[in-house]
Amino acid sequence: MSSAGMRVACIQMNSVAEREANLEQASLLLQQAASAGAELAVLPENFSLMGASPSDKQMLAEPQEQSTVLAFLSAQAITHRMAIVGGSTLLQGGQGKLRNACPVFTADGRMCAIYDKIHLFDVDLDGGESYCESATVVAGEYPCAVELGAFHVGLSICYDIRFPELYRHYADVGCDILCVVAAFTEQTGRAHWQTLLCARAIENQCYVLASAQWGGHADGRRTWGHSMIIDPWGEVIALQEEGTGVIMADLTSARITHIRNILPSLKHRKM
């Protein structure tokens, strides 16, 4: 597309507890996105490892500088001449814990940004479903935005979507795309996923690219899927409800400008 537009792909996966199998699956889906003309592809949270035990996560996590997963993403970006938001992967962090990190690669394979998940998923849901992400992951401290083509992209991971102040920050610094890479649980996804995504798009008048995990995983967790692309009016313009796959959309700066002109709510803010 022209400098005022971008063809994007959101990838939905059912990642397993074996890293090599996940990288093979991701490679095939990235190839599919590139063959359809994507200039940017977005992978889901934990695309390289899902459902592993805490001890296996610790064992497989690597330092950022030696990461097999980051090297894979760089090579994929070069091969397909396509920018990649690399979902998230676990890297060694401080305090004896891990980082849940979302890297971004340009089409020449350069890592231009990396975002560490700020809001960690510590919940006790109905039916005995319980998670304590903070037991193994250290929280990130800073938002992270990056320029890709004609667009300014704000990064976020899964549970972040429930905290609108992060996305308002991204709007304030000029973002027009909000990326949400996720492994939303089936229970919370059914109730809230699309509502939250559409709200973030509408209130910030930005495109939302949401790539998700889907289905059952080795640890018994079930994820909701429903990867989607939402325009700044809150309209879902591409959707993958179930299964693995790739969804595509053409984004334009003109659409953002039009919506912000006809309904200038960002300019009308009082707080």
The domain spanning residue 230 has which CATH number?
A: 3.60.110.10
Cβ atoms of residues 85 and 181 within 8 Å:
yes
Number of domains in the chain: 1
Which residues form the domain of 108? Answer: 5-262
What per-residue confidence (pLDDT) applies to 4? 86
Cβ atoms of residues 213 and 49 within 8 Å:
no
What per-residue confidence (pLDDT) applies to 3? 63
**Per residue in 80-137, pLDDT tens?**
999 999 999 999 998 889 999 999 999 999 999 999 999 999 999 999 999 999 999 9
Query: Which amino acid, one-letter code, is at 65?
Result: E
What per-residue confidence (pLDDT) applies to 1? 62
Cβ atoms of residues 154 and 175 within 8 Å:
yes
Cβ atoms of residues 74 and 86 within 8 Å:
no
Which helix (H) or strand (E) segment is 90 a member of? strand 89-92
**Per residue in 4-50, pLDDT tens?**
899 999 999 999 999 999 999 999 999 999 999 999 999 999 999 99
What per-residue confidence (pLDDT) applies to 254? 98
* Active site amino acids: 45, 117, 158
The burial of 131, by beta-carbon neighbours within 10 Å (0-12 exposed, 13-18 middle, 19 or more buried), is given as middle
What per-residue confidence (pLDDT) applies to 53? 87
- Provide mean pLDDT across the span 52-56: 85
From residue 118, how far is each of 13, 90, 137, 156 by CA, in Å? 23, 14, 10, 8
